[in-house]
C-alpha cells in the first residue's frame, strides 16, 4: 500500500496552510458558479412570473420520477463523498476507496437516468428548435420553459461529468499513488466542495422544473 510523505509546496509554511489555500480557491470558483447559475435561475423566475400558466402547462410534461430519483441519487452521492473525506481524514484507505467508487457510480447513475429522461423528452417532442410540438392549451411561452430545461439540465450534466472525472482522478491517480493521506487530503476535500455544490444546483433545479403545475 502506497503512502507517501507529502511536503508542502515551496510557497507554503506547512500543509495546513496549503490545504486552506486550496479550499479557499475552490470557494472563489464556487462564488463564480453561484453567480452563473443564479443568473440562469433569474431568467427562470422572470419568465415564470411573466407566463405562469404556460409554464404550468409545459412543466407537466417534465418526467417527475426521473427528477425525483436523480435528486435522491445526487444527495446520496454528496453523503458518500463526505464519508470518503472522513475516511481519508481517519486514514481508512479501504473505506476511502469504496466511498469514492460509490460516489462515482451514483454520479454515473444520475447521468444514466438523465440520459433516459432526455430520450423520453425527445419522444415527447419537447426539444425546442429540433423536435418541438406545441400541445393543446400551450402558448408560445411554453417553449421558453423547455429552453430553460435543456440549458439548465445540460449545463448541470456537464458539471456532473466534470465531477465524475475529478472523483475518478482522485481514485485512480491521487489515492492509488498514495497522495491522499491522513496527513494531507486537501485535494479530495476540494473535489468534495465542487461535488456538493453541483448537488445544491440540482436542489434548486428540481422544484423549478419538476414541481410546477402538478396540482
Residue 161 lies near other proteins (rule: CB under 8 A): no
CB of 193 to other proteins, least distance (A): 5
Query: Binding of other proteins at residue 130 (CB under 8 A)?
Result: no
What is the total count of residues that contact other proteins (CB under 8 A)? 61
Question: Number of C-alpha atoms within 13 angstroms, CB side, residue 144?
Answer: 19
Q: What is the rounded CA–CA span in Å between residue 136 and residue 38?
A: 32
Q: Which three three-digit cell numbers place residue 108?
A: 454515473
13 sits in which H/E element: none
Q: How far is CA 119 from the centre of its chain?
A: 20
Question: Does 83 help bind other proteins (rule: CB under 8 A)?
Answer: yes
- Restricted to residues 42-71, the positions that interact with other proteins (CB under 8 A) are 42, 46, 48-50, 52-53, 64, 68, 71
CB 193 within 8 A of CB 26: yes
- Other C-beta atoms lying within 10 Å of the C-beta of residue 214: 10
Backbone angles phi, psi at 131, to 5 degrees: -155, 75
- Name which of 130 and 140 has its Cβ closer to other proteins: 140
Residue (of 33, 205, 39) closest to 117 by Cα position? 205
Cβ 78 vs Cβ 194: under 8 Å = no
Residue from 78, 103, 142, 153 touching other proteins (CB under 8 A): that is 78
90 binds other proteins (CB under 8 A): yes
Closest separation between CB of residue 72 and other proteins, Å? 7
Q: Provide the minimum distance between the beta carbon of 97 and other proteins in the complex, in angstroms, as a whole number.
A: 16
Enumerate binding residues for other proteins (CB under 8 A).
Answer: 15-16, 19-20, 22-24, 27-28, 30-35, 38-39, 42, 46, 48-50, 52-53, 64, 68, 71-72, 75-76, 78-79, 81-83, 85-86, 89-90, 182-186, 189, 192-193, 196-197, 199-200, 203-204, 206-208, 210-212, 214-215
Amino acid at each position: 500500500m502506497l503512502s507517501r510523505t507529502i511536503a508542502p509546496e515551496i510557497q507554503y509554511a506547512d500543509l495546513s496552510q496549503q490545504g486552506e489555500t486550496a479550499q479557499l480557491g475552490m470557494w472563489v470558483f464556487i462564488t463564480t458558479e453561484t453567480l452563473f447559475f443564479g443568473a440562469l435561475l433569474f431568467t427562470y423566475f422572470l419568465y415564470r412570473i411573466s407566463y405562469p400558466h404556460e409554464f404550468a402547462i409545459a412543466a407537466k410534461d417534465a418526467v417527475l420520477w426521473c427528477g425525483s430519483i436523480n435528486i435522491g441519487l445526487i444527495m446520496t452521492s454528496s453523503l458518500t463523498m463526505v464519508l470518503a473525506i472522513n475516511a481519508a481524514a481517519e486514514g481508512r484507505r479501504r473505506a476511502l476507496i469504496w466511498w469514492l467508487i460509490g460516489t462515482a457510480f451514483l454520479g454515473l447513475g444520475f447521468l444514466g437516468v438523465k440520459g433516459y429522461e432526455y430520450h423520453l423528452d425527445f419522444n415527447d417532442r419537447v426539444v425546442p428548435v429540433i423536435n418541438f410540438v406545441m400541445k393543446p392549451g400551450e402558448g408560445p411561452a411554453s417553449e421558453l420553459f423547455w429552453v430553460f430545461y435543456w440549458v439548465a439540465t445540460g449545463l448541470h450534466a456537464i458539471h456532473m461529468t466534470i465531477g465524475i472525472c475529478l472523483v475518478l482522478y482522485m481514485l485512480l491517480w491521487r489515492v492509488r499513488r498514495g497522495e491522499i493521506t491522513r496527513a494531507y487530503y486537501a485535494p479530495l476535500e476540494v473535489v468534495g466542495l465542487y461535488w456538493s455544490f453541483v448537488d445544491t444546483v440540482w436542489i434548486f433545479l428540481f422544484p423549478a422544473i419538476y414541481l410546477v403545475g402538478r396540482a
